[in-house]
Amino acid sequence: MEGSWGPGHNDKRGKLYRITLFEDQGALLGTYLARGDANKVLQKLAYEPEPRW
């Protein structure tokens, strides 16, 4: 997950990506305003089957 939730950053949104390899850029799953919102999505996705794109 990429984000700027720390102090001193103007953009407080975090971007959540699905990757297969660490080097992949990945597919954007969503942009979230709060870390708690992103964590809720992660908890749901952890038990979902992988998409077949």
pTM > 0.85: yes or no: no
Burial label, 32 (beta-carbon count in 10 A; 0-12, 13-18, 19+): buried
Q: Please report, in tens digits, the pLDDT of each residue of the chain (53 residues total).
A: 555 445 555 667 888 888 888 888 888 888 988 888 888 888 888 888 877 66
Q: What is the per-residue pLDDT for 22?
A: 86
